[in-house]
Amino acid sequence: MCRAAGVSRDGYYKWLNRKTSRYRKEQVELLEAILELEKHIIGRLDI
């Protein structure tokens, strides 16, 4: 698989085991807040 993608095995495993970036964590938190807000709004509208 690494050969087909043109990456080294070592590089693949470094990528696979990397830590989640701060940007990604912020995006997940933002999405969760939006979904929670949407749930409250839909509840108020009785949809």
Q: Which pLDDT belongs to residue 47?
A: 58
Yes or no: say if 2 and 12 are a contact pair by the CB < 8 Å rule: yes
| pLDDT per residue as tens, the chain (47 positions) | 778 889 999 999 999 999 999 999 999 999 999 999 998 888 777 65
Q: Which residues contact 5 (CB under 8 A, 6 or more apart)?
A: 12
Q: How far is CA 23 from CA 4, 10, 11, 29, 31, in A?
A: 29, 25, 22, 10, 12
